[in-house]
């Protein structure tokens, strides 16, 4: 999505450890008018997929998921992060590794909010190694619901998460796919993602 | 707001320790079509206040804030919770007590996202003793920005947070105000809040 690529080039910052920071419009401050346009694009891509629910993960996915869900007229469910091992009867749980922070955590969703008949679209801000996305997919599968696909704002295509999930036969639509990021700046993938 | 009171009576649950749970449409699962109506109501109440930014607190405030901000065409900034004491140069910090969990935490906002000229509307899901709201007000004051007011989904009017903040001369609009909550059910305040 041209508009997003231009915005990343303009307002994205490369921080320590070659981390892309988009706090100014996606993550900490949310440019709602802009994110609404991304939401409309996710709607265009998945409008014919019979989506009944959008699943995301706290905290930075919530705004994007809500501003997208309004076009589908479906609810958002956000998975909660917890440091403790939650093996409660009333939640689905899966483990997620955070490579950025060198830690891991559980994500949990109440069983009452993911149902066997649900067709779930996953929305998140970033896709890199895919650990969070795989965790969300497991929650949906545990509920006996269907994964319609994933809508990602920024994919780091030089990491293997996108390939991993596409190879499982799951549709992944990323609005910007970064091919490389270094001292020379940010370069985007121009060809479409396989799968 | 009649519509909200009816929804709370229908779908709200009173949990252990007399806690009102609205996970089914506000907090964990978000009924986006419904929250959009609340957002339009906040817009109606504050449309003439020159709002330039909406401030909320992660995680459950974010969806409501984003679905509200789109009517104002202003960005959302969400304060992040952190257990560690953050006295960094690049963030505003204030301390919040969590009476529900018996703990306290810091909320932080990047200095680049709250500016002296900003007229800030605070949006949050609950107002009880007012600790989170007071924390957000301090962040705005530290930035030299103005507090336009607060838009709260559910105020527990039997606790003193709303009175405390209104007595400071700050406008607080709560879409549902609970007068009492017990084994006999939920009763709402019918007269308008002072201040």
Contacts with A35 from chain B: Cβ below 8 Å: 66
pLDDT at A72 over 50: yes
Please tell me the predicted confidence (pLDDT) of residue B184: 83
Residue A93: pLDDT band by 50, 70, 90 thresholds?
Answer: very high
Please tell me the predicted confidence (pLDDT) of residue A194: 61
What average pLDDT score do residues A50-69 get? Answer: 97
Residue spans of chain B under pLDDT 70: 83-88, 194-195
Please tell me the predicted confidence (pLDDT) of residue B99: 77
What distance in Å separates the CA atoms of residue B191 and residue B195, rounded to the nearest whole number? 12
Report yes or no for ipTM above 0.85. yes
CB B80 within 8 A of CB B59: no
Which letter, b or e, does each residue of A141-165 get, where b requires 16 or more Cβ atoms within 10 Å of its Cβ? eebebbbbbbbbbbbbbeeebbebb
CB within 8 Å: A77 and B113: no
Please tell me the predicted confidence (pLDDT) of residue A19: 87
Q: Average pLDDT of chain A?
A: 93
Q: Which of A129, A181, A128 is nearest to A153 (CA)?
A: A128
3 state DSSP class of B79: strand
* Chain B contact present for A36, CB below 8 A: yes
Please tell me the predicted confidence (pLDDT) of residue B195: 47
- For residue range B86-142, what is the model confidence (pLDDT) as tens digits? 556 799 999 999 877 788 999 999 999 999 999 999 999 999 999 999 999 999 999
pTM, to two decimals? 0.95
pLDDT at A195 over 80: no
Task: Provide the shortest C-alpha distance from residue B19 to chain A (in Å).
Answer: 17
- For residue range A154-187, what is the model confidence (pLDDT) as tens digits? 999 999 999 999 999 999 999 999 999 988 889 9
* Chain A contact present for B82, CB below 8 A: no
Give alpha helix (H) positions in A90-185: 131-142, 161-167
Phi, psi of A133, rounded to the nearest 5 degrees: -65, -45
């Amino acid at each position: 999505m041209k508009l997003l690529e231009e915005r990343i080039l303009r307002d994205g910052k490369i921080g320590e450890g070659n981390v892309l920071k988009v706090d100014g419009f996606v993550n900490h401050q949310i440019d709602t008018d802009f994110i609404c346009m991304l939401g409309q694009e996710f709607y265009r891509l998945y409008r014919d997929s019979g989506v009944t629910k959008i699943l995301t993960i706290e905290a930075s996915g919530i705004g994007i998921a809500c501003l997208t869900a309004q076009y589908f007229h479906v609810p958002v469910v956000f998975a909660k992060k917890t440091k403790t091992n939650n093996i409660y009867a009333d939640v689905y749980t899966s483990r997620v590794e955070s490579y950025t922070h060198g830690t891991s955590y559980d994500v949990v969703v109440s069983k009452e909010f993911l149902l066997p008949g649900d067709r779930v679209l996953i929305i998140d801000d970033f896709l890199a190694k895919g650990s969070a996305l795989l965790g969300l997919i497991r929650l949906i599968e545990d509920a006996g619901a269907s994964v319609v696909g994933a809508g990602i704002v920024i994919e780091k295509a030089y990491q293997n998460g996108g390939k991993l999930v596409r190879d499982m036969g799951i549709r992944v639509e990323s609005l910007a796919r970064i091919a490389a990021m270094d001292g020379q700046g940010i370069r985007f993938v121009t060809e479409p993602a396989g799968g």
